[in-house]
Amino acid sequence: MDKHLIFKRSRGGVKGISINKNSYYNKSISEIIPKEFLRTEKPGLPNVGIQDTVRHFVNLSNLNYHVDKNMYPLGSCTMKYNPKINERTANLNGFTAIHPLQSENTVQGALEIIYELGEMLKEITGFDDITLQPVAGAHGEYTGIMLIRAYQEAKGNPRKYIIIPDSAHGTNPASSVMAGYETIEIKSNEDGLVDIEKLKEIVNEDVAGMMITNPNTLGLFETNIKEIANILHSKGALLYMDGANLNALLGIVKPGEIGADILHFNLHKTFSTPHGGGGPGGGAIAVKSHLSDFLPVPRIVKDGEKYKFLYDREKSIGKIHSFYGNFLVIVRAYTYLKMIGEEHLGEISKNAIINANYIKSRLEKHYNLKYKKHCMHEVVLDGNLQKSNYGVRTLDIAKRLLDYGFHAPTIYFPLIIHEAIMIEPTETESKETLDEFCDVMIKIANEAKENTEIVKSAPHNTPVGRLNDALAVKQLDISYRE
């Protein structure tokens, strides 16, 4: 890798630009920058010409993995193609140049987009009210549980517990604890769904609510969702639905009509904002009418032909983020939905489901599949067959995929599947790409049997080989040294 470092290309007497005089101001640097701020020593930058500098950064960019390069089969992440029109609208000067402290009268267009997106999301999911303030899925979860707490406190008792299935989204327990609740885990039954009889046993007047991911992280639809809601409601508890897997339900199921009281959206997943590397995100929260008074402020409301902020909500949980939320994510989601149109919404989820089941049908003969039924938008295989027979772990399979130019799927999650390989192709991948991915997965399964060491020592074709992940966490050192 050293030969690719720009410091290795450095040589004396070469420079890519002269900074002695700034052509815009026609002044020297010393005339522009006060003397006390000028460097007294050289910064230690490499001496490289313009062309070599450009090539260096182009070559670095080619090492990056991105959705325009190949598919992201990351289960639970919904890493779909991001239409370039989203980026064009989000980068319009009228959106990027406004300031959140401007007067309402000067940002009517921005407020209109937030309001209209909220109305569209309510219609898509069957809820009565919404806030777009949360800026991530986990932030939305926390906001939702705080709404449950506020609702229960208004009833006279915040209660003690939140029930969470073992097939729920991974951040649910943390969100509940941060909101001041203890969690009760409920095990899945033999079908990978919530155990209804066990739920009946544990729901009582101390339970504030339940967080459920539907479809769950096994990629299975909770077919008893209405009964689950009825059990909770009979004891005064609320049903929170984690919307991380909403990409399987668009145009097919409205969560607000099947018993959920609260739903969070991952605008960045379902509605196609690039979100690799930790951001950006949007975790909007939709609620039924009995929770409206508790939503964060300010609310954006339409007053005649104008839009304005509304702070007058005595029962509100208050602000959970500054200003408008993650505004440019909202713009991207708005653009995406306007381009898709209501009449084509269902095609998103139908194609996502078809793609996931196609991968399932091609790979279930080569990898173990604990739950055999048709999946929704994602399928969870596992590497137990390879591990028990050949000593090849799921981690080895994921690393070997890198050699073939594919990003690895989500592995070791959900925790209830040992050696889990969680694959979500999304609706935007073609059959040809799915076949290429499946062909490679089948080839790796054969390598595990016939050439074990090449899988166990992968990756071989990447700039950096396999790292000691545990050591890197404890002793992260990414400094360059000669």
Tell me how far apart the alpha carbons of residues 456 and 166 are, in angstroms, rounded to a whole number. Answer: 30
pLDDT at 267 exceeding the cut of 60:
yes
The partner residues of 240 in beta bridges, in order of sequence, read 211, 262
pLDDT digit string (tens) for 7-40?
A: 888 888 887 776 655 555 567 777 778 888 888 8
Region 302-319: mean pLDDT is: 94
Tell me how far apart the alpha carbons of residues 275 and 326 are, in angstroms, rounded to a whole number. Answer: 12
Sorting pLDDT into bands at 50, 70 and 90, what band is 1?
A: very low
Q: What are phi and psi of 213, to 5 degrees?
A: -100, 125
**CA angle (262 as vertex; 257, 268 as ends), nearest 5:** 100
Is 78 within 8 Å of 424 (Cβ atoms)? Answer: yes
- What does the DSSP assignment read for 62-88? HHS--TTTS---BTTT------HHHHH
Residue ranges of alpha helices (H) inside 194-344 are: 196-202, 225-234, 267-270, 327-340
Of the candidates 164, 179, 236, which has an alpha carbon nearest to the alpha carbon of residue 206? 236
The pTM score is: 0.90
Is 160 within 8 Å of 182 (Cβ atoms)? Answer: yes
Q: What are phi and psi of 361, to 5 degrees?
A: -65, -30
Which domains does the chain show, CATH number per domain? 2-63 (no CATH), 98-340 (3.40.640.10), 347-473 (3.90.1150.10)
404 secondary structure, DSSP code: T
179 secondary structure, DSSP code: T
> pLDDT value at position 22?
53
pLDDT digit string (tens) for 72-86?
A: 999 999 999 989 999
> From start to end of 251-409, where are the E strands?
262-264, 285-287, 299-303, 306-310, 379-382
- Lowest mean pLDDT across 148-152, 272-276, 347-351, 376-380: 272-276
pLDDT digit string (tens) for 414-457?
A: 999 999 999 999 999 999 999 999 999 999 999 999 999 999 99
Helix/strand/coil percent split, the chain, to 5: 45, 10, 45
pLDDT digit string (tens) for 38-48?
A: 888 877 888 89
With H, G, I as helix, E, B as strand and everything else as coil, classify residue 382. strand
| Strand-strand pairing, 161-165 and 182-186 | parallel
pLDDT digit string (tens) for 117-129?
A: 999 999 999 999 9
